[in-house]
């Protein structure tokens, strides 16, 4: 029931002439955010502004649903974050971003690690509902089948991080991995590499699919004949190390290797070094994620910088928008897409640019 109240809260404006927060803001000559604060955090608003806005609301007999909600103190000021794992920099940065915005807006974050198991994720959703969270952020959700029904019937604000819309969430945000992988592949082709291989994260088929789509677009757009292959590997230093060892032993080394992550790439570097394979002369190496170590490695690793902290911040904002009803919802984009940056360093044989260069 509580969820239903919240759901309708950000849809007032579609009910024809009915008074809404935007109209109240106009009539009072203040911003929508100010009206929201008068209701949610009256102590943060100057006295005369608060009196004025309240009198306008009274005059037009306007009582937003979330006003009632905040009065009956049902809100827990808690949001849930369900995330596959916490080992990688990408997920850590997402958590940091969510925490930052939640802190700014005075929400606590309940955290659940799903390990990519749909059943575990469904249990978490259930647990979070019982703990009366105000909304849920799911990262790369694996919910399917019966578990999806659970989400469909749940009228709780939620945002999904990741391109797949499996959990039927209205609101998605993700990094455009496909475009990043396309630019990375184009870069490798421009450097003259003809045999390209990608190592994908065996535990993250969704991201792998997007990367594969981007690589394919680059292969299609080029006029050159490129031999492309791919393999699955664990997303770790060990995974990259073993994958390259296997390639060396089977004498099937490509000219250029795209690793799923900087950890994998570091493992690949070590395997190449052990076998006296020079990077970038004998093997070009690039990574689909960037981290602080990439520029310190020798040679510095060409990598895709994913704005993962910003992704977490955006997701938390979009969720709190829904919870507090602070945005006229239909005006807003439901999918927020962030662009990654290709950081061109030394590991693919680029000698043209004087320093780290972005595309």
Partner 1 sequence: MAYDVNLSGMTLKNAIITAAGPWAGNAEGIQRCIDAGAAAVITETICLEERQRISPRLFMKDQQLFNTMLYSNLHLEEWERVLDRIDRKDAKIICSIWGTSASEMAYLGKKLENMGADALEISLSAPICSRNKLIGYHSPDTEDFIRALVDTVDIPVMAKLSYESASSPYFIKELENAGVSAFSAIDALKGLLGVDLEKKRVLMPTFGGYTGTNIRPVSLAMTAMLRQYSRLPVISSGGVLHFEHVLEFLMLGATAVQLASAIQLYGYDIISSVIVSMENWMASHGYKSIDDIRGTALASLRPFEDIVPRTLVATNSKPCTRTDCTLCMQGCLKEAIMRNDNGEIIADTSRCDGCGLCVERCPDQSIRLSWR
Contact in structure between 185 and 214 (CB atoms under 8 Å): yes
- Nearest CA to 305 out of 234, 353, 355, 359 is that of 359
Q: Is residue 199 a contact point for partner 1 (CB under 8 A)?
A: no
> With respect to partner 1, which residue has the nearer C-beta, 248 or 338?
338
Span from 71-79, 214-222, 279-287, 326-334 in contact with partner 1 (CB under 8 A): 326-334
Q: Is residue 14 a contact point for partner 1 (CB under 8 A)?
A: no
Nearest-approach distance from CB 141 to partner 1, in angstroms: 20
Contacts 24+ apart (CB under 8 A), 51-55: 52/28, 53/24, 53/28
Nearest-approach distance from CB 24 to partner 1, in angstroms: 12
Q: Between the CA of residue 199 and those of 132, 140, 196, 233, 239, what are the distances in Å?
A: 41, 20, 10, 6, 9
Contact in structure between 325 and 6 (CB atoms under 8 Å): yes
> With respect to partner 1, which residue has the nearer C-beta, 10 or 69?
10
Span from 109-117, 210-218, 287-295, 337-345 in contact with partner 1 (CB under 8 A): 337-345
Cα angle, residue 142 at apex, residues 136 and 148 outer, rounded to 5°? 70
> With respect to partner 1, which residue has the nearer C-beta, 142 or 317?
317
Q: How many CB atoms lie within 10 A of CB 77?
A: 12
Subset of residues 99 to 118 that bind partner 1, contact rule: CB under 8 A: 100-101, 104-105
Residue of 37, 163, 186, 187 that binds partner 1 (CB under 8 A) = 37
Nearest-approach distance from CB 129 to partner 1, in angstroms: 27
Contact in structure between 177 and 207 (CB atoms under 8 Å): yes
> Phi and psi dihedrals of 228, rounded to 5?
-120, 140
Q: How far apart are alpha carbons 205 and 142 in whole angstroms?
A: 11
Q: How far apart are alpha carbons 243 and 63 in whole angstroms?
A: 61
Span from 140-148, 154-162, 199-207, 321-329 in contact with partner 1 (CB under 8 A): 321-329
CA trace torsion 191, 195, 196, 199 (10° rounding)? -150
Contact in structure between 13 and 20 (CB atoms under 8 Å): yes
Subset of residues 142 to 181 that bind partner 1, contact rule: CB under 8 A: 176
Number of residues that bind partner 1 (CB under 8 A): 36
> With respect to partner 1, which residue has the nearer C-beta, 45 or 237?
45
Residue of 6, 24, 30, 279 that binds partner 1 (CB under 8 A) = 30
Q: Is residue 182 a contact point for partner 1 (CB under 8 A)?
A: no
Q: Is residue 315 a contact point for partner 1 (CB under 8 A)?
A: no
Nearest-approach distance from CB 209 to partner 1, in angstroms: 20
Residue of 28, 32, 79, 80 that binds partner 1 (CB under 8 A) = 32
Alpha-helix runs per DSSP H in the chain: 2-9, 21-28, 32-40, 47-59, 65-71, 89-104, 118-130, 146-152, 177-190, 205-221, 237-249, 262-274, 308-324
Q: Is residue 304 a contact point for partner 1 (CB under 8 A)?
A: no
Contact in structure between 91 and 83 (CB atoms under 8 Å): yes
Q: Is residue 77 a contact point for partner 1 (CB under 8 A)?
A: no
Interface positions with partner 1 (CB under 8 A): 30-34, 37, 44-45, 97, 100-101, 104-105, 176, 307, 309-310, 313-314, 317-318, 326-328, 331-333, 335-339, 341, 357-359
């Amino acid at each position: 029931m509580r969820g239903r109240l919240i759901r309708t809260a950000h849809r007032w404006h579609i009910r024809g002439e009915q008074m809404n927060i935007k109209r109240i803001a106009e009539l009072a000559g203040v911003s929508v955010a100010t009206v929201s604060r008068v209701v949610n955090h009256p102590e943060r608003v100057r006295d005369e502004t608060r009196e004025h806005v309240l009198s306008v609301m009274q005059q037009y007999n306007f009582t937003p649903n979330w006003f009632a909600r905040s009065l009956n103190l049902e809100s827990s000021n808690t949001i849930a974050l369900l995330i596959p794992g916490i080992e990688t920099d990408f997920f850590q940065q997402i958590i940091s971003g969510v925490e930052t915005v939640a802190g700014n807006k005075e929400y606590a974050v309940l955290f659940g690690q799903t390990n990519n198991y749909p059943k575990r994720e469904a249990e978490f959703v259930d647990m979070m509902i019982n703990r009366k969270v105000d909304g849920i952020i799911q990262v790369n959700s694996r919910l399917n089948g019966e578990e999806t029904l659970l989400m469909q019937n749940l009228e709780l604000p939620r945002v999904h991080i990741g391109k797949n819309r499996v959990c039927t969430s209205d609101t998605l945000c993700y990094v455009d991995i496909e475009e990043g992988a396309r630019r990375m592949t184009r870069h490798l082709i421009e450097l003259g590499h003809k045999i390209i291989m990608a190592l994908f994260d065996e535990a993250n088929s969704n991201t792998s699919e997007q990367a594969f789509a981007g690589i394919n677009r680059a292969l299609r757009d080029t006029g050159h004949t490129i031999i492309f292959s791919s393999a699955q590997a664990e997303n770790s230093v060990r995974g990259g190390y073993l994958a390259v060892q296997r390639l060396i032993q089977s004498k099937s080394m490509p000219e250029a290797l795209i690793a799923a992550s900087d950890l994998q790439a570091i493992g690949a570097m070590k395997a190449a070094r052990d076998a006296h394979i020079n990077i970038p002369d004998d093997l070009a190496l690039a990574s689909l994620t960037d981290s602080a170590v990439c520029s310190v490695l020798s040679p510095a690793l060409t990598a895709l910088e994913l704005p993962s902290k910003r992704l977490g911040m955006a997701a938390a904002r979009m969720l709190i928008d829904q919870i507090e009803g602070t945005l006229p919802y239909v005006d807003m984009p439901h999918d927020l897409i962030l662009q990654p940056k290709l950081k061109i360093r030394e590991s693919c044989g680029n000698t043209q640019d004087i320093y780290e260069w972005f595309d």
